[in-house]
């Protein structure tokens, strides 16, 4: 399954020019349907453009725009209530990893998402270590698998074994055409959240990494 997330002004253009089997997602969505929220994008606007996915909680929304876990949880609930499918992002900063807080941070962020999910079939979780986004650094396969495995175990304890087994957990963080093959072999990595490499020809290699 392929989904491309584009800036809001290009949602309609991209949706009209890609085949139907490729999903198109917005990169953000506010927590209410309408109101005086200048510059925001609503679920209705996303659907008006023929799109049915949205990325929420991306690290840049968290750390550049200071979105809190609570706000992201509210956005997840609203998007699901409005019929959108959600790619919910979690991940730790470099100082948090170095302090041994990776699981603590990821579990806290995931808890707020879990509290607001009504339909797990329309949710994908993306683990994106913030220190590996756009830096050229990438988590080793062992580091990625360790976190993904810990997330699945946490889901067994806090949601259900069924959700833990069926939920798709993506890895995001400087994925490229060179490292994608080894990452795709990991048992708990179900796909990728791709940034800069999605604008390059190697994106095709990443899409086909599991074949």
Catalytic residues: 58, 128
The continuous run of DSSP H or E covering 7 comes out as: none
Residue 18 CA to residue 199 CA, distance in Å, equals 15
Closest CA to 128 of 166, 157, 90: 90
Query: What angle (nearest 5°) sits at the alpha carbon of residue 170, between those of residues 107 and 135?
Result: 90
Q: Are 86 and 116 in contact (CB under 8 A)?
A: no
The continuous run of DSSP H or E covering 2 comes out as: strand 2-6
At 186 the three-state DSSP class reads: coil
**Could you tell me how far CA 94 lies from the centroid of its own chain?**
19
């Amino acid at each position: 399954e392929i989904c491309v997330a584009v800036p809001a002004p290009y949602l309609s253009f991209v949706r009209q020019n890609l085949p139907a089997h490729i999903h198109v997602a917005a990169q953000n969505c506010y927590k209410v349907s309408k109101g005086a929220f200048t510059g925001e994008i609503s679920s209705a606007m996303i659907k008006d453009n023929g799109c049915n996915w949205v990325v929420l909680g991306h690290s840049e929304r968290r750390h550049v725009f200071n979105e809190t876990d609570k706000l992201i949880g509210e956005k997840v609930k609203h998007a699901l209530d409005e019929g959108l499918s959600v790619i919910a992002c979690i991940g730790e900063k470099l100082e948090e990893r170095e302090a041994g807080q990776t699981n603590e941070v990821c579990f806290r962020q995931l808890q707020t998402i879990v509290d607001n999910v009504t339909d797990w079939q329309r949710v994908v979780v993306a683990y994106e270590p913030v220190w590996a986004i756009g830096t050229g650094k990438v988590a080793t396969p062992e580091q990625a698998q360790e976190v993904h495995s810990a997330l699945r175990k946490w889901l067994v304890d806090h949601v259900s074994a069924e959700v833990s087994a069926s939920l798709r957990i993506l890895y995001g963080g400087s994925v490229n055409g060179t490292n994608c093959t080894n990452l795709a072999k990991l048992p708990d990595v179900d796909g990728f959240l791709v940034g800069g490499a999605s604008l390059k020809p190697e994106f095709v290699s990443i899409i086909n990494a599991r074949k």
